[in-house]
Amino acid sequence: MIVTVTLNPSLDRAVEVDSLTRGEVIRATTAHLDPGGKGVNVSRALLANGVPSVAVLPSGGDEGNQLIRLLKAEGVEVLAVPISGRTRSNITLAEPDGTVTKVNEPGPSLFRAELDEVTDRVLTRAGDADWVVLCGSVPPGLPADAYAQLCRKLRAVGVRVAVDTSGPALREAALAGATLLKPNRDELAEVVGTSLANLGDVVDAAQRLRVWGAGTVVVSLGADGAVLVDADGVVTGTCPVIRPRSTVGAGDALLAGFLAAGARGAAALAEGLAWGAAAVSLPGSRMPGPADLFRRDVTIHPQPDQLLPLLPSAPPS
């Protein structure tokens, strides 16, 4: 069983349009409303593929109630902590060529007492968990080391912890000894303070996170695939998508697949890539099930050419 923690969950409304023109009235072709937030998406992807998961999250206002209803409709077990603020809503505009424009609200402030209640819920469920996954942005009102504090408490009782966040929170999670970190290319570049032009740059940056204290690092690179860096070495892989529809949640699906496959080695990376590519082929932030997976299209490179340049800009994941 895998417990996910999302401190800043959301309602995600995805709207497909023929083209996005600033200042014009645009008519949508389709629209989807899904539960949102990185950890929420990890739980959704796991459950869609038969892997037990529990989602722990703060919830406030009508939006929070709707988020919980949507999750329960998908069969997600939710441990919701009531908060005084209102759960945020995000909007995604997707064009036919796969271009995605996303507008994210900052989310409500989370008070210390509310965070303490979330922490208590997590520690209570962590005893029978294979992993606890801490995901997403740190809400307003909390320090950058909010995930790191929880990571240390979990590691102290022998729980494996995966973290997918960004900025100072990502550095703090590495320093706290997270078992696994899953940044994307831009998040990794930001935390180490340098540009990443080729695979070698990505590997060097991932190794810095390991020097800071992290165990395994998986870096999602959008159309360039993903890189796994751990004590056993470096593995890369790719999985092309012929008709991309939305990159929202692709990195979350990748992380879910990697964890579901044992979180170690080329086989786990391949599974993660298959799940991530499948998510890109689906609208909005839908998570893939077994029939959607792209396993046959995955290519693993156990001895990658680290001088291979990356695409100029990788889609967010």
Catalytically active residues are 252
| Distance, first Cα to last Cα, the chain | 24
Q: How far apart are CA 276 and CA 284, in angstroms?
A: 13
Token pair belonging to 206 = 């991932």
Q: CA 20 to CA 35: how far, in whole Å?
A: 24
The candidate with the shortest Cα–Cα distance to 5, out of 72, 54, 75, 46, is 54
Sign, Cα dihedral of 293, 297, 300, 305: negative
∠ at Cα 214 (208, 217), nearest 5°? 75
Select from 141, 160, 146 the least CA-distant residue to 84. Answer: 141
Which residue carries 């298959």 as its tokens?
274
Element at 6 (helix H, strand E): strand 2-6
Count other Cβ atoms within 10 Å, centred on residue 15.
20
